[in-house]
Amino acid sequence: MARYAIDRAIVERREGSGEVTISHIQIEAPYPKEKFMLLGAAARANRCRAILGVDDASFERLLRSPAFDDPSAGRIATVIGYRSDLEAVELLFTSLTLQAVNVMLGHGSIVSGGRNRTRSFRRSFIIGFAHTVNERLRAVQEQAIAAAASSAGGDLLPVLAERDREVEHLVNTTFPHLSSLRTSLSNRAGLAAGRRAAAAADIGTTRLTRSHAALDRPR
């Protein structure tokens, strides 16, 4: 997927096509804050940015979404990037979430020292999974850029840098007052289990299929 996205970026620049736009994705409960870290990894891997929340201009429109009818449904995130990259983000995020949740649930309830630690284990599991997936995706991205640069000559890096600047410009325009997401770890066993699961996860090397994750298509 990484090499395909890079080749597509070169074609779009050559043809003068492609545009930076906004998409919204539902992050289902439980643990939406931790699952958002998976979305962030998927976004970065596709040269997009993910923000937990929505901008004021989108809020009224999204109020009509069924997701707002149930406060337990989770959170809504914004993804900003080139239209051609946003679909890849959605598909990869859906795949990573399903893989993480399936393995996490396979551990069952966690009891330690006479206390039920299932919730802290699962939160830490997703965090560990997300961190390791992010590391793997970054390595794949770096390898794909190096391989593409050897065949594209000096044309590739300026194209990618320009796309990054355009994405960042829309992020800063849409969300002028961003703050960093803070997470806490309280279960080392969960963190280690998440990292092990992520080391064996499919990070986009096989065909991904669409799910229902997106609330709306890029606009």
Domain boundaries defined on the chain: 2-216
- Per-residue pLDDT of 62-94, as tens digits, reads 777 765 556 567 899 999 999 989 999 999 999
Give Cβ neighbours of residue 101 (< 8 Å, ≥ 6 apart).
none
What's the one-letter identity of residue 47? R
Band the pLDDT of 209: cuts 50, 70, 90. Answer: low
> Does the pLDDT value for residue 18 go beyond 80?
yes
Please spell the DSSP secondary structure of 81-126, one letter per residue.
EEHHHHHHHHHHHHHHHHHHHHHHHHT---EETTEE-HHHHHHHHH
Give Cβ neighbours of residue 93 (< 8 Å, ≥ 6 apart).
25, 38, 39, 42, 43, 213
Give dist(CA 24, CA 158) in Å, integer.
Answer: 28
Specify the higher pLDDT residue, 65 or 107: 107
Cis peptide, bond prior to residue 66, ω within 30 of zero? no
Model pLDDT, residue 212: 44
What's the one-letter identity of residue 169? H
HSE at residue 30, side-chain half, CA atoms within 13 A, is 11
Give dist(CA 20, CA 81) in Å, integer.
Answer: 5
Contact call for residues 123 and 190 (beta carbons, < 8 A): yes
Model pLDDT, residue 205: 67
Contact call for residues 214 and 148 (beta carbons, < 8 A): no
Q: What angle do CA 161, 164, 170 make, to 5 degrees?
A: 145
- Per-residue pLDDT of 155-179, as tens digits, reads 788 899 999 999 999 999 999 999 8
Average pLDDT over residues 26-49: 96
| Beta-bridge partners for 143 | none
> Does the pLDDT value for residue 58 go beyond 70?
yes
